[in-house]
Chains A and B, each alone.
Chain A
């Protein structure tokens, strides 16, 4: 079963907790799917710049991981997600979202095609019962690997060099490829928009793999990092976080808190021509109510949680993720903005930003400028073979 945080037991140690605890100067832990995960180990600045300029190591084992096998496994997944998974070839990884019958996003995640009818799904939300439900009546088996499969994310410009030094050759892996290297499975994936890899192995072997990478990274600036640094990177890359940038609809209690993929700017992930998939009929008739926009915020104060106004007066949305991007040198944000205001050109959108400085609150309106694509998308993220520095 999926891991649930039990207040009686507190947070559980992840597979490399000993290593993390030894490095944790900040002692900043947070609960991630029931596991104690570092929000920051040292300082967020050090960790962020290690990630963008050297290389960073992050334990991602608390992700939920499921294995789908059997003659109908591909059919089950194609029923589940909005994109056509038959286009993901074995050896490839695909990003996917899936919806409920009303077309509202349940979660997003990555699909690893391990074989013709052998898949792994990695996602943020517990999904076992939903997958079992999706597979009911089909010849497919769903297995929860969440507690048996560990994952380490190695992200940053020297990530390839670190793997090479560790003795793992991934020179031929293109973005979204994965390869089985015997002891570990490595995919060229990540949540930072940078060059990076994710290394997958049995739970008990994670400490040894961590140590091997740690030693290999000694001359490549490798640093263990926590979630706060990753969060800055993922906003720069324009990636969404479940529960922050959208509310996974199965976890909402109030009506109409869900969003369609179109409203999340994920319309390209929806293949209306592939045949039926969950929520297709609802999506076919749905008109988007709002849009998740990437915006450049005037000034330098992060706009996290700011309300968004049209012409400074009409409240039309709110910022879900806002941060100063140290690499793009821009004040960036993701914001839900109601239609039609989100689509007006030129836009006349403003964020109302509150700041508290030494006991004094100030508020000001900051102009929002829509941005197409990621805020930061370095070519090194896609170069194959990848650079070593």
Chain B
């Protein structure tokens, strides 16, 4: 038996961050990870990406709290342009708020695009006040310092909202809960540029651009400026930095060790029994699993019936398959200058096409014309080229976790064929270059990482699962009812995305609980 101040279950991004934050505050921490490697969905065996492949929202707040200082991350990042590929030519290059044709010609909707993205960024800056802190509400009495802080923060949010000006504030409140499709097509005609925005609005979610709440997720995407960057050295470098921070904070990291069950005494979690029967005691247990998995470890009878019902009904339907191809040579994309081959390549010909691709997913079928985000990381960072040939990393929408008939070999082949057919619309020679392929369906992602439904946010970022009701009412403050047990995974506020804020907030919440 060993004894720590805190145990963190799961060595993904949030688990590592939670452990490092606790360690930095002087707590002895034991982090246990079921698999043999750290990183969860961001982890990789080789230098090239396996699941997550880019950074969207990794912010300085987390870096500060895990002790990596005010400067920069210990790995270099390269901001990548995005290219909205258009079958038949006319690819659009996007750098932040600037859009133009890939061949350098000005794009007719560039001005509209800039205005829209600037607006989204302003909204994002506003919402970040809510995203970075724990969600509002909770049990604290009004006179309590924590509650006062919360009131001030909410007050600040209200003030910032008013400072937008009356007209802009009204627009913000009007569009916030609406759908991305209407917001985008109010500003520009449908096409690859609109398609790129629509695809980003639904990335990772079981939503289509016409689903309510997708404006919120689009803002979330642009929350930190909307830049997309490639970590040099791959996700492995990111995870090494987080693990390094945890180790520097004296966190004991044990991979290949799974939590079998939670040990409780009275109404409090007091430790973990591992799959090998070893007992680790701690005053706090933080679990980056889904809430239901955490509850099952403690025993469902330790939770109220309403609570288990809410945990059960958290919507975490994965819709994304990850496809990793190894090519015999770099592909040639019609009409794309060579210097853009390393960009984030989007295959979402229009907002309408994204919605159409979503339709079958509603009924448990995969998209025939999938929406793709493709990346050739080796073009930018040679270390990520891959063994034997260029690695092509693809995020494919929609591949629902509850596929009718299940994710059989035939189903995976069918998805691969659909993806290759989609790629062939802009790179006809690409299917012939495939030397090796791997299709990670949501079920596989779940099996490898424990993410419920293979969903990369562990719970859909929909309006009823946000802020103080994320992942569900009564679970919004990282606590679960059973004292000493906390949720620190992507299912909690503010969600996943290789961001670490959920883990950081959970650690801070756990620190408020006594010595």
Contact = CB atoms under 8 A, between A and B. Distances in A.
Interface of A: 75, 78-80, 100-101, 130, 133-134, 136-138, 275-276, 278-281, 284
Given A136-B312, A281-B481, A276 B301 contact: yes
A137 B308 contact: yes
Nearest to A131: B305
Contact of A133 (B301, B303, B305): B305
Contacts of B303: 276
A101 B301 contact: no
Contacts of B301: 75, 78-79, 138, 275-276
B301 to A, nearest CB: 5
A281 B300 contact: no
A191 B481 CA distance: 37
Interface residues of B, number: 15
8 contacts: A75-B301, A100-B304, A100-B306, A101-B306, A136-B312, A138-B300, A281-B304, A281-B481
A323 to B, nearest CB: 36
A278 B301 CA distance: 9
A134 B305 contact: yes
B305 A79 contact: yes
A280 B304 CA distance: 8
A276 B306 CA distance: 14
A78 B303 CA distance: 12
Given A100-B304, A101-B474, A136-B309, 14 more contacts: A75-B301, A79-B305, A80-B305, A100-B306, A101-B305, A101-B306, A101-B307, A133-B305, A134-B305, A138-B301, A275-B301, A276-B301, A276-B303, A279-B304
Nearest to B266: A275
A278 B303 CA distance: 7
B309 A133 contact: yes
Contact of A281 (B267, B296, B305, B308): B267
B224 interface: no
Nearest to A285: B139
A182 B307 CA distance: 42
B308 A136 contact: yes
A101 B300 CA distance: 14
Nearest to A76: B301
Given A136-B312, A137-B296, A278 B302 contact: no
B267 A130 contact: no
Interface in B287-303: 296, 300-303
Contacts of B300: 136-138
A234 B300 CA distance: 37
A276 B302 CA distance: 5
Contacts, number: 42
Contacts of A276: 267, 301-303
Contacts of A280: 267
A326 to B, nearest CB: 43
Interface in B213-263: none
Q: Among A100, A101, A275, A284, find the residue whose CB has the most chain B CB atoms closer than 10 A.
A: A101
Contacts of B308: 133, 136-137
Contacts of A275: 301-302
Contacts of B306: 100-101, 278
Nearest to B309: A133
Contacts of A101: 304-307, 474
Contacts of B309: 133, 136
A280 B483 CA distance: 13
Interface in B301-352: 301-309, 312
A278 B312 contact: no
A278 B304 contact: yes
B305 to A, nearest CB: 5
Contacts of A78: 301
Contacts of B312: 136-137
A270 to B, nearest CB: 15
A227 to B, nearest CB: 31
Nearest to B295: A137
Contacts of A130: 305
B173 to A, nearest CB: 27
- The 8 nearest A-B residue pairs measured at CB: A101-B304, A101-B306, A137-B300, A79-B301, A276-B302, A134-B305, A278-B305, A278-B304
Nearest to A79: B301
B290 to A, nearest CB: 13
B39 to A, nearest CB: 30
Contacts of A100: 304, 306
A218 to B, nearest CB: 49
A130 B308 CA distance: 12
A386 to B, nearest CB: 39
A75 B296 CA distance: 15
Contacts of A134: 305
Contacts of B296: 137
A136 B306 CA distance: 11
Contacts of A133: 305, 308-309
A271 to B, nearest CB: 14
A133 B306 CA distance: 8
A268 B481 CA distance: 24
Nearest to A100: B306
A133 B267 CA distance: 22
Interface string B486-502: 00000000000000000
Contacts of B267: 276, 280-281, 284
Contacts of B302: 275-276
B310 to A, nearest CB: 10
Contacts of B304: 100-101, 278-279, 281
A100 to B, nearest CB: 7
Nearest to B306: A101
A263 to B, nearest CB: 19
Nearest to B307: A101
A142 B306 CA distance: 18
A190 to B, nearest CB: 30
A100 B309 CA distance: 12
A80 B195 CA distance: 51
A100 B304 CA distance: 8
B466 to A, nearest CB: 22
A134 B302 CA distance: 12
A252 to B, nearest CB: 15
A279 B304 CA distance: 7
A358 B308 CA distance: 58
Contacts of B305: 79-80, 101, 130, 133-134, 278
A79 B302 CA distance: 8
Nearest to A137: B300
Nearest to B302: A276
A136 B304 CA distance: 12
A356 to B, nearest CB: 45
A179 to B, nearest CB: 31
B347 to A, nearest CB: 41
A138 B296 CA distance: 11
A275 B306 CA distance: 17
Interface string B335-377: 0000000000000000000000000000000000000000000
B293 to A, nearest CB: 12
Interface string B466-494: 00000000100000010000000000000
